[in-house]
Amino acid sequence: VVAIAGGGRKAPAIDAVLRSGLVTSLVTDTAAADQLLAAAPPPRPALDRADPDEPGDA
How does pLDDT run across 13-56, given as a tens digit for each residue?
A: 999 999 999 999 999 999 999 999 999 888 777 776 777 777 76
Q: At 2, which helix (H) or strand (E)?
A: strand 2-4
Three-state SS for 22? coil
CA 36, CA 15: separation in Å to the nearest integer?
A: 7
Give the Cβ contact number of residue 3 at 10 Å: 15
For the chain, the domains span 2-39
pTM for this predicted structure:
0.68
For residue 44, the model assigns a pLDDT of: 78
For residue 56, the model assigns a pLDDT of: 61
Measure the CA angle with vertex 6, ends 15 and 44; round to 5°: 35
Q: What is the 8-class DSSP label of residue 21?
A: T
